[in-house]
A and B are shown apart, each in its own frame.
Chain A
Amino acid sequence: MNVNNQPVWLIMLCVGFCLSAQAMKDVSVQQYGARGNEYRDDTAAFQKALDEVIAAGGGRIYVPPGDYIISKRLEVRTPSNKPEIKLAIVGEGTGTHGSRLMSTAPEGLLLFESGRNGMDLTVRNLALMAGRPDVGTALTIHCKILGGVRVERGVLIENVLIDSLYDGSYFSKGISLVGQWRPLLRNVTVRGAKSDSIADDSPAFKMQIGIQQDAFYAGRFADCHVSNCHTAYSWIAEENGEGFVLIDCTADQCRIGAVIATPEQEPGGAMAHCRIRARDIGLRIDHKRLMAVTDNEFSPLSPEGEYAYYDVTVSNSWAIQINRNRFLGSSASRTHVRVDGRGDARQYVIMPFTRYIQINENQMCLPSEKAVEYVGDDIFEVSLGSNVYGEEK
């Protein structure tokens, strides 16, 4: 179609028709009255932008630099007859001159709920800041329980900062994901309340989870940084959970670095090139088949073994490779790998034991007889090869 040959009025008519029909739209929150000047509440403007874009079938919402006060959780819930979310929320960055949403809403900041595992949701270049203690989950993206597998990227979250605005303010969780196909999170930083204390009641551990995913399929977290929380990364699936990757990520100032637990030893998973510094457990693996833990660095938070610390615990799991990691820091009150046969698994669907654990080429600070602890009888084949061990003190 050559537009230049058409009468202008026909074109305009056509445009008008198309706009009145379902057509996606790109907007700026400023069009809806958001100021981002830190004094005025911008909740209504944001919610209106979300509602209108979703009603139009999707589009991009641009958030210019500014500090936006959000006093009530922003919510998108799609109807069951049109479950897809097609949306991009894009700011200009996460720094003090970036696009920052300041939350005082006790139930959280952003919520997306969809009946479809494959949504088209992009969140990029935004800071989500907690303005009070325990203000819910910064970013919640929940789909119905996972069904099937697809080559679709359900969610893309890039260059997002989730942080506390004041000392003592924090989100109760950073990001909570349920049921997406292939979510990709990269360069996401999550921090809870600031505190150097590592005692049980430390404000640093009040944020429950940094990034959480349940009912997952083939997710990737890359270049993510989580600190000041109880558990930095959690992949505890109540339903299906298969094939996740945690790569080039860090966890610090937390009690547990990462947890991976699936109900039926679903296969596939990797943690590679990560740096984990935790107080109690670096990585807990429960009910998992086929997972590689390679090229990571683990160290305990407590400098002199004040708290008992496990770098990796494995229970009721099958085919776990713990290779070429570096276990640094104090060797006091520490076990590098705890292998538990059944663990406290609730159900034994396929295999009620732990089997084929490979521990090779790690740099350990404990002597070989203390590096691995065995719990229970249901363990078969823990293979250790070419590790470098520390000396007995």
Chain B
Amino acid sequence: MNRLKFLFLLLAAVPAFALETIRFDYGSCGAIPDDGQDDAVALQKALDSLVAQGGGTLEVPSGVYEMHARIEVDGRFDFLRIEGAGQGLSRFVCINDEGILKINARSVDSVVEIVDLDLPPGKPNCGTCLELIKPFNEPQDREYNLLLSNLELKPVDLNTCHYARVFVAEGWMPLIDNINSSGFYGPNFNTFEGKRRKYEAESIVVLKKAYKPRIQYSNFWAAKYGIVIELTDAHEKPTIAATVSVENANGIQITKQGARPLSNPVWIDGCHWNNAFSGLVMKNIDSFRLVQNCLYGAWDIEDGYHDMHLINCSGGELVDNSFWFGVKSRSNIYIEKNCHDISIRNTHFGRGISREPVIIEDGARNIRVADNLYGTVFAMDEGDTFGLWEFEETQAGKALDKDRLHPGRDNDLLLNGAEIVGGSESMKLGKALSFRDLSAEACPAKEWSGAAGVRIHTCLKIPEGFGRGESTILEVTNIYRLYLDEGTLCFAFQDSRGRKTVLRVGNVTTRRNWLPVLVDIDPSLDRTVLEVSGFGGDRRFIENLELNRKERPLRLAPEQKTRKKFTGAIDQLWIQNL
């Protein structure tokens, strides 16, 4: 081999990233920004010339470039980068029915980067903003082979302009970073007709045959589908981090095809979504972590909406998530019958959301629901309401309007073996909420057989000027008793060593209608708590705390010879053995 030939080969072997950089201006490409004229022809030529050389970088100076036709790139190239000057500066405005750019990369090793650009729709129904196709592969030596970063898609006119589909990518290992995209939203679209138009846009991010897709720091609003990911049966680590998908009809859908199990879990961390028809729907996912996501209820959720809906999923954790308000009550987590081995813990199920936060279909196996906090357990009083529910007058004063609540409130008490005895005629005795939780697995409630500790949530209504003397509200004979004594709410219990303790919160009789009450006798912490919302708490630590374990009936407001009858109301009672 002569020297010249060797040098030539060496030059040909220059790495892809040393490819040419051209500037999208008049001199190089014939592009003229801000002239109100089409720049699609110039862009087509520029990209064609780069692809003809195996790729390269197109730098786009600040300015508005109109795309009167979609640009189509079809060929083999190693690396293609389109780089703007920054958000709000380099703007490709779509003024056609098809979209801005379609890339059909013929080489599996192609890399595409599109960064620091605005890609706003400039008319109604602009087709697919970016349609990017590549033969699928599983690159092991890179973070991504498709980078979409710092792209702003705010429509030219929020009320009329939109893409049917924003990004559709197939075959890539995509990193989608800091993308802000919206269809129609705002007050004009919160009416019934407006809502139908709001979801006119079909989708925002659709990733087909995606390998290790990652979506981060992005905001997706107002389309029929926010994020749709189809995973192959390859080794995957799909991640969605600190991303928002709200005001979409359907928030996030992730589906795996094929039999090979995931090597890494689907990971959704620090995200926020609220949508109308469905929140997150995951199908056939055999490994997942949904961590610290924050789910609101959209103002217009449809019947059957769940924040998280799992179909044929297994091997997953739902940890540290929080569920927050919405106009309609909704069940937050819905687990279908073919799911198994899932842990739901450290959740905050916010108040006023759901009477049945977790629904587990019969047939689901080993679903552990534990260590969650339920704001919903409590009735809401007037002074404390979010304005979501109303109250009706009853004989006993104000009570919750049953018809406006989810019927779950009327489910049977989950206290097998407990005896419910008649209270006062004037007492309005609501039944407890049906949590299939009770820190147990998804199985029927345990037999009541005594326990080392107990946690009680309830709402009490204590008539003003409640009389003198003691009156029992709730008791397990000789083990614990919740009672009123001269306007002081007391919880007395006897532990396994025969010690008696009385916790007290004073002057609870006058201020409000319904009083949320919490009792917590927790042997794992040696901690005892009696709390009355707004009135304070009595918290004490007792060494080697353990209740006297005996099987005993639970009685509510029992008739008693020596004590006065309790004539208030008890509602939303929930008792958990510890």
Could you tell me which A residues sit within 8 Å of B by CB distance? 1-4, 11, 14-15, 18, 21-26, 58-60, 84, 86-88, 90, 119-122, 150-153, 156, 182, 184, 186, 218, 220, 222, 243, 245, 247, 267-268, 270, 272, 290, 292, 294-295, 319, 321, 323-324, 341, 351, 353, 355-356, 358, 360-361, 368-369, 374, 376-386
Given A25-B62, A321-B348, A59–B89 Cβ distance below 8 Å?
Answer: yes
In the assembled complex, the CB of B89 is this many whole angstroms from the nearest CB of chain A, namely 6
B495 at the interface (CB under 8 A from A): no
B363 at the interface (CB under 8 A from A): no
Complex partner residue of A292 from B33, B85, B320, CB under 8 angstroms: B320
B331 at the interface (CB under 8 A from A): no
Separation of A381 and B533 alpha carbons in the complex (Å)? 8
Given A24-B62, A122-B86, A380–B537 Cβ distance below 8 Å?
Answer: yes
Contact A23 B33 (CB under 8 A): yes
Contact string against A for B residues 274-296, beta-carbon threshold 8 Å, 1 for contact and 0 otherwise = 00000000000000000110101
Complex partner residue of B30 from A3, A25, A381, CB under 8 angstroms: A3
Separation of A268 and B292 alpha carbons in the complex (Å)? 11
Given A2-B41, A272-B270, A120–B86 Cβ distance below 8 Å?
Answer: yes
Contact B244 A218 (CB under 8 A): yes
Chain B contacts of A243 at CB under 8 A?
272
Separation of A186 and B177 alpha carbons in the complex (Å)? 12
Point out which of B33, B88, B181, B525 has the most chain A C-beta atoms below 10 A from its C-beta: B88
Chain B residues numbered 525-541 whose CB sits less than 8 Å from any CB in chain A: 525-527, 529, 531-537, 539, 541
Contact string against A for B residues 136-156, beta-carbon threshold 8 Å, 1 for contact and 0 otherwise = 000000000000001010100
Contact B348 A356 (CB under 8 A): yes
Contact string against A for B residues 86-125, beta-carbon threshold 8 Å, 1 for contact and 0 otherwise = 1111000000000000000000000000001000000000
Contact string against A for B residues 58-76, beta-carbon threshold 8 Å, 1 for contact and 0 otherwise = 0001110000000000000
Given A14-B32, A60-B62, A151–B154 Cβ distance below 8 Å?
Answer: yes
Chain A contacts of B373 at CB under 8 A?
321, 356, 358, 381, 383
Given A156-B87, A358-B348, A14–B42 Cβ distance below 8 Å?
Answer: no
Complex partner residue of B541 from A270, A321, A369, A381, CB under 8 angstroms: A369
Could you tell me which B residues sit within 8 Å of A by CB distance? 26, 30, 32-35, 37-38, 41-42, 61-63, 85-89, 116, 150, 152, 154, 178, 180-182, 185, 217, 219-221, 241-242, 244, 269-270, 272, 291-292, 294, 296, 319-320, 322, 324, 345-346, 348, 350-351, 370-371, 373, 375, 384, 516, 518, 520, 522, 525-527, 529, 531-537, 539, 541
Separation of A294 and B321 alpha carbons in the complex (Å)? 10
Separation of A205 and B220 alpha carbons in the complex (Å)? 40
In the assembled complex, the CB of A183 is this many whole angstroms from the nearest CB of chain B, namely 11
Chain B contacts of A26 at CB under 8 A?
61-62, 85, 89
Separation of A125 and B150 alpha carbons in the complex (Å)? 15
Contact B516 A380 (CB under 8 A): yes
Closest to A12 in B: B26
Contact B85 A294 (CB under 8 A): no
Separation of A150 and B187 alpha carbons in the complex (Å)? 12
In the assembled complex, the CB of A23 is this many whole angstroms from the nearest CB of chain B, namely 5
Point out which of B26, B37, B41, B348 has the most chain A C-beta atoms below 10 A from its C-beta: B348
